[in-house]
Amino acid sequence: MEGGLFYEKETFDLIGCAYAVFNELKFGHSEKYYQRAYAIEIGKKGYAFQREFLVPLSYDGRSIGSYRLDFLIENKIIVEFKVGHDFSPQYMAQVLGYLKSLNKKLALIILFTPRGVKVKRVVN
C-alpha cells in the first residue's frame, strides 16, 4: 500500500489508459471495442494482463459455475468495463463478488458515458 491507497501508481496508469481510449473512440461503442483498445493501451504501458479471466464460483466445496471478468492486471487489479450513463448497484455487487472469489484487494469499474469516463475504485 502506497500513500494510503492500494496500487496508486498502477491505478493512475490504468485510469489514464481508459481516458486515452475514450479520447480516441468517444462514446457510442460496444464494451468489447473499448476493451480491445484498452488492451492495446495497457500493453503499451508494459502491464501484464489477462482478458476475460475465468472466476470460478463454488458452494460447499463444489463448483456451481463461473464468471468472466474483463481484465486482471498484474495478477492483482481487476478492471471491469461498462457503457452507460451511471453506475448501478449491480456493477458494485458484481465486482465485489470477483474480488472475494479471487481474494484480491482492488478493482476498478470503468464506465464510458456520453460525458466521458467515470471510474469507481472498489476495495475488498
**pTM recorded for the entire structure:** 0.90
Residues 6+ apart with CB under 8 A from 22: 34, 112, 116, 117
22-63: per-residue pLDDT in tens?
A: 999 999 999 999 999 999 999 999 999 999 999 888 899 999
- Give me 70's grid cell: 474483463
Going along the chain from its start, the domains and CATH numbers come out as 8-123 (3.40.1350)
Output the pLDDT for position 93: 93
